[in-house]
Amino acid sequence: RRGAGMSLERFDALSAGLADGVRSRDGLVGLVLLGSASDEASARRDEWSDHDFFAIIEPGRGAQIRPDLSWLPDQDRLVLTAREGEIGFVAVYDDGHVFEFAFSEIDELAGAVAGDASVVLDDADGSLAELIERARSRAAASDQFDAVNDTRLVLVKLLIGTGRVRRGEVLGGGEFVRQWAVKHLVRALRGRFADRSTTLRDTIDPTRRFERDFPEWGERIAAILSQPLEPAARELFAFTREVLEPGWPEFPSRAADAVAERLGWPRHPGTEPRRSLPG
């Protein structure tokens, strides 16, 4: 049985609890709510929305303060906390709600990217507001896709991944096919058909809300990925040629032919496969 989803009232209460916790904890100086936790993206929230945020520590006190998460709200309902790298953290509550956050000094976020964001608490100099402006600029710059290069990388990931699967490295090969090839395919589609990407897109992760901008292709890719690994890889290859190649001189057709030849796949949908080269 599925549990009850997060209510908007509880979401708001947790946001307020975060602000109170940061205010009351000595050594914490700032809070930024990100993504659907921000005010500007509140209309996008649903029962699966998490709290993404930056919690900022006074300069020079990161190592001292970071082990202490007692400032998080509803301590009696926390069932899990974990670290992701040096400054990344995750927390899970007993109702399944998730916090994902950077807990750091401001200088440790120098390369951060951000889209929707609300600065809840800032220092007197407005340092966090400046940080977010720079992070948004970086996100906007990354929201540009080199469709030619990403298409080339789709072919590379499918070739390497399928080879690893045939070698018996199913987990590693699967990562190349189901993760890396798909990520580059999504980037290639967004770059090649940029006019179809709407303001709903995530400027940081191009796979987010892809199905809303490209519903038919999102459904097809999802159906392809439900297959076993090699059929999925072969169908992703066919999909890539079918959708991206026609009318696009920059498509790496010769490379796609070489990949098909090496793997013994049809060069184009509906054609017979060619014999693979000895492996």
HEC profile for 199-211? CCCCCCCCCCCHH
CA–CA separation, 163 and 173 (whole Å): 7
Lateral strand order in the sheet of 117-121 = 78-84, 88-93, 98-105, 51-57, 28-34, 117-121
Q: Which of 40, 41, 35, 46 lies closest to 11 in space, CA to CA?
A: 46
Lowest mean per-residue pLDDT among 26-30, 160-164, 267-271 = 267-271
Q: Could you tell me if 152 and 248 are in contact, meaning their C-beta atoms sit under 8 angstroms apart?
A: no
pLDDT at residue number 6: 63
Average model confidence (pLDDT) for the chain? 86
Does pTM surpass 0.85? no
- Determine which of 19-23, 100-104, 127-131, 149-153 has the lowest per-residue pLDDT on average: 127-131
Helix axes 253-263, 229-244, angle to 10 degrees: 160
The pLDDT score that the predictor gives to residue 125 is: 81
CA-CA distance, 183 to 221, in Å (whole number)? 11
Higher local confidence (pLDDT), 225 or 202: 225
What pLDDT, on the 0 to 100 scale, is given for residue 200? 64
pLDDT in tens, 88-101: 999 999 888 999 99
**Strand, helix or coil at 123?**
coil
> Average pLDDT, stretch 133-154?
82
CA distance 147 to 70: 46
Supply the pLDDT for residue 1. 43
**CB neighbours of 136 closer than 8 A, spacing ≥ 6?**
113, 114, 115, 117
Give the separation between CA 198 and CA 182, rounded to whole angstroms.
20
* pLDDT tens-place string over residues 210-235: 888 889 999 999 999 999 999 999 99
